[in-house]
Amino acid sequence: MENKISPVIAPADLVALWKTTAIVLVDARAGAEAGAQYETRHLEGALFVDLELQLAHKKTDAANGGRHPLPDPARFAAVLNELGIRPDSHVIIYDDKNGSNAAARFWWMLKAAGHALVQVVDGGLDAAFAAGFPTRAGKETAAPAGDYEIKKWQLSLAAIDEVEKARQSPGYLVIDVRDAVRFRGEKEPIDLVAGHIPGAINIPFTGNLDEQGFFLSTAELKQKYSAALENREPENVIVHCGSGVTACHTLLAIAQAGMEIPTLYVGSWSEWSRNDKPIGTGE
């Protein structure tokens, strides 16, 4: 029987688990300085994973798959083997964005690979520091594994043409998790064009967290997303962001609510906005 664990782990529970259980701890900070910041200070035993090189297979043209397209399953399996992650490993991931950035992306990828024991640290790196988890500088390495094979992604994915059809169908729901100013087209700091996919609704991923940067309670998350999804099947709910990374934070929040994980549009706005597709602005 598959082990059932919460998708999110409290920092205090992480500290207790680390003292008694073999885990694979992963630092998934992203950004130009992420590697250097990791080497300066990270949670003891944590391995570094690179969003740009290991959790995406970037192409020269973001119009084909967006800014962070998924690697193929075999390529991702090679990453897991390099990190010493086996099918039965208990993997715990953190980042420095309250779990909302590459930690959530790595969580989704592991779940999509069929991995059972994977969690994200609630509150992220700073919360683990505050809970007393020991830290270390430098690099950490793992003994490579060799027994992870992934033949296909097991969670639902949407391609751009499927999103085009879904946005026009009342039986489907397209959720854009970017900030409201980006959704309305008032500001676009990353991609070439501002706006949103017409027909999509805006539920910013930042609303999954409370004022202290921790996830809302399970009951609050369930109430929020049950109301938004209106009993639609998970494959009929498509979630996207700018490039398929922070969208995973909302998928994580929905899983934390005890609900089935909806469909991810990995290409997201970075792909849609580069393909001569209709663009909406305003609410």
Beta carbons of 94 and 124 less than 8 angstroms apart: yes
Q: Which tokens go with 123?
A: 């509150």
In terms of Cα–Cα distance, which of 19, 73, 89, 84 is closest to 48?
84
In the block, tokens 């998934």 appear at: 28
- Which residues in 2-66 belong to E strands, given as ranges? 8-9, 24-27, 42-43, 47-48
Residue 148: other Cβ atoms inside 10 A: 21
**Active-site annotation holder among 79, 80, 241, 264:** 241
Output the CA torsion sign for 124, 130, 133, 136. Answer: positive
Sheet strands side by side (includes 47-48): 8-9, 118-121, 91-94, 24-27, 47-48
Determine the Cα–Cα distance for residues 239 and 177; give it in Å rounded to an integer. 7
241 is catalytic: yes
Residue 267: other Cβ atoms inside 10 A: 28
In the block, tokens 């809302």 appear at: 216
* DSSP label of 4: -
The strand pairing partners of 92, in sequence order, are: 25, 119
Determine the Cα–Cα distance for residues 178 and 268; give it in Å rounded to an integer. 10
Task: Catalogue the active-site residues.
Answer: 241
